[in-house]
Structure 1
């Protein structure tokens, strides 16, 4: 990321004539160095809203669209860091009469009747300028001359088309905080938009998804164990045993390996780890399925889709979609939605398989497996000696 200007510390010398400009220049140099230091710990996946524990209040950013083709942003509380390392810290309503954070919708300076068929999405971009501070606060009547005692960075809002916005197009002072949609003759707010976040515990929706995914991994572990236990206890003979056993072993190994890290670390790490933990499971499942080719793979996929209640090919498409998904920090919701859909589908499959007495049982045709109960040798001899003592 290129910085357009560098602010150097003031060279203080005894006897020099000083004025307020020297102190302002020194302040700018300090701000610049702080931001530069912050970028050491930042990358394209961990900037945005700071964890809720570091904020005075939980992040509350309201975006509304009025009938005059204006987007109004009210920031009641927000603690965030931009990609350039500049901290946004707002603990009061900044949308007052002296600082209206609003923006004209680009391309909408025409009557709505002329927008028929036009569809566009815009990011609401909050920008700060720490080198152009705005005075604020209550003046002290005992001070002369009268002045506002404090300064804050200048904040502005702009709208950028989603299609033209990427991590590379945003500057070091910008942060997306909302998203609006223009469809036909209406303008609406995307209510469930997730702004970029430094960590999973920066937003309530991400914390909730983390808890739900943790529950998902726990249930997947139990289901995989139950499937393997039934396969080991009964010597079933059909073409589906090996694929199901291999898949269950791979899932069990993956969940066992990442579960501890997921519980203890992912909540405090960037959201990309939340998405990556599920996409890693999808890749594990895909590889376990792709081991088999031809009719064996087709029979296995057909059997799985039957117990997933999905159309043929939908299961593979869903697994491939989450496996190949490239995380977008500006659109975290897209990754979360993919996680939710995949987890629901795979959990349904493994829950149904774990509930079967025999692997290979079909919904309509019943059971078509041969099975032999595996009994320890000493128990067999005991039954031979005392078979008349029926259970």
Structure 2
């Protein structure tokens, strides 16, 4: 899916050579405006990368930065209409759709919508993708009767909406001026918007699911820190098994060092950062835990994992798999939720594990089982 090369080639938009006495027309001003638009996009691209584009933060809690509807028309076509969208593409182009349609000079509503015939089609899942061409000017607004010739006073960029089949690599192949907005499934000729899909976002506070996950992660990290501190104190006070003491303390202290370094980032900074930063912090936590375990002797590792198995019914192989899956998260900015599912599974298990560990008697032969299920999605 590509666009015209002029969308990405600033060389097409040069400054105007103004001289005294020259004849001017609207093309000179449009050319100058296009040059500034291209320069503006170039400046934005300095601060944009593959993880920092997408939906923009809400202006107020009552506002929406994305809203679209999907339905099947009388001809059995899938139709999608964007009602609201505030975003920035990776190419640096702004998208600002606030009311879904605008009246053109011909009195026709200019809807940001797309249609796809779905009869006799095997594919049932689709992505909604939008693009913007800031160099194509669409006149809008009410003409002023005192002006001659009559004209609509304002312009907006040209928006284009596409419905594409949800093939495995389609999102990775999108050009920088294309932005995926949502995912739709068609079941029994009825479209259903996938509410689990999270489009690219410029920060964690751009989507309610990201905000909810940030709150969940921050609360879990705070509780985890308290549990680790209590665990270390409890082990030092009550434990009698030297080998078990050493590895439990080593694991807890390494995790505490990590939490001391990161906890205020979770509280203050990550909410306004792109989602990849939060995922990176959680992956680093899993890496810290795995390294703390792997750097002990085989006998110590076996003793620790056996302790987890006996007291919490944790399968050692499944626990290692959970760490490996979390460390191996391949963050995709065009499908954020897949990374957050794996991160959430990890946080749930580790939080529950250390919450129970602080209550345990670290004495060999003493068993008090609390089953912890490891769910890998």
**Judging changes above 3 Å, is the alpha-carbon distance between structure 1 residues 54 and 22 closer, same or farther for their aligned structure 2 residues?**
farther
Partner of 2:241: 237
> Contact 1:35 / 1:86 at 8 angstroms: preserved in 2?
yes
1:72 touches 1:102 (CA, 8 Å); kept in 2?
yes
Q: Does the C-alpha gap of structure 1 residues 345 and 305 become closer, same or farther in structure 2, counting only changes over 3 Å?
A: farther
- Asked whether the equivalents of residues 250 and 288 of structure 1 are also in contact (C-alpha less than 8 Å), the reply is yes
Residues 51 and 274 in structure 2, CA contact (< 8 A), matched pair in contact too: yes
* Correspondence 1:69 to 2:74: no
Where 2:184 maps in the other structure, the secondary structure is strand
99 and 323 in structure 1: CA distance in 2 versus 1, 3 angstrom threshold: same
Partner of 1:90: 97
For these two proteins, the number of residue pairs brought into alignment is 356
1:15 aligns with 2:21: yes
Q: What is aligned with 2:323?
A: 319
- Give CA deviations for 1:160-200 in whole Å, capped at 9, x if unaligned: 33423245x32232111111235797653211221111111
Structure 1 pair 143–268 and aligned structure 2 pair: CA distance change class (3 A): same
- Paired with 2:197 and 2:210, the residues of 1 have a C-alpha distance of 12
Shift, 1:146, TM fit: 2.5
Whole-Å Cα distance in 1 between the matches of residues 32 and 60 of structure 2? 27
Match of 2:251 in 1: 247
Query: Which residue number corresponds to residue 207 of structure 1?
Result: 211
3-state secondary structure, aligned to 2:155: strand
Instruction: Tell me the CA shift for residue 240 of structure 1.
Output: 2.5
User: For 1:44 and 1:307, how far apart are their aligned partners in 2?
Assistant: 44
Q: 1:333 to 1:232 in 2, by over 3 A?
A: same
Equivalence for 1:382: none
Task: Tell me which residue corresponds to 2:368.
Answer: 363
2:30 maps to which residue?
24
Name the CA shift for 1:94/1:318 in 2 (closer, same or farther; >3 Å).
Answer: farther
Structure 2 CA distance, aligned partners of 1:296 and 1:236?
15
- Equivalent position to 1:59, from 62, 65, 72: 65
The CA deviation at 1:131 is 1.1
Give CA-to-partner distance per residue, 1:309-333, whole Å, 9 cap, x none.
5545222211111111121110111
Counterpart CA distance in 2 for 1:59 and 1:364 is: 48
1:371 aligned residue: none
Structure 1 length as normaliser, TM-score? 0.83
5+ unaligned residues in a row in structure 1: which ranges?
366-391
Q: Aligned match of 1:273 in 257, 271, 277?
A: 277
Using the TM superposition, give the Cα deviation of residue 159 of structure 1 relative to its aligned residue in structure 2, in angstroms: 2.6
Q: The residue matched to 1:313 in structure 2 has which SS?
A: helix
**1:322–1:10 distance in 2 versus 1, CA, 3 Å:** same
1:104 Cα deviation (Å)? 3.4
Superposition deviation, residue 111 in structure 1: 2.4
Q: 1:157 to 1:359 in 2, by over 3 A?
A: farther
Instruction: Summarize deviations over 1:338-391 as a string: whole Å, max 9, x none.
Output: 1111111111111111122336543369xxxxxxxxxxxxxxxxxxxxxxxxxx
Residue 348 (1) aligns with residue 335 (2):
no
Is the CA contact 2:128–2:180 (under 8 Å) kept in the aligned structure 1? Answer: yes
Larger Rg: 1
Say yes or no: does 1:220 pair with 2:224: yes
Residues in 1 aligned to 2:216 and 2:356: alpha-carbon distance in whole angstroms = 19
The question of whether the paired residues in 2 share the 8 Å contact of 1:47 and 1:196 is answered with: yes
SS in structure 2 of the partner of residue 133 of structure 1: strand
Q: Aligned with 2:111: secondary structure?
A: coil
Residues 155-164 or 190-199, more deviating: 155-164
Secondary structure of the structure 2 residue equivalent to 1:240:
helix
Contact 2:360–2:368 under 8 Å retained in 1: no
Question: Aligned pair 1:81/2:85, yes or no?
Answer: no
Unpaired runs of at least 5, structure 2: 371-377
Under a length normalisation based on structure 2, what TM-score does the superposition of the two structures give? 0.85
Match for 1:99 among 102, 110, 117? Answer: 110
Moved more, 152-161 or 338-347: 152-161
Which stretch shows the higher mean deviation, 120-129 or 181-190? 181-190
Shift of 1:142: 2.8
* Contact 2:310–2:369 under 8 Å retained in 1: no
Query: How does 1:78-157 map onto structure 2 within 5 Å?
Result: 78-94=85-101, 98-105=109-116, 109-111=118-120, 115=122, 121-157=125-161
> Is residue 197 of structure 1 aligned with residue 205 of structure 2?
no
SS in structure 2 at match of 1:155:
strand
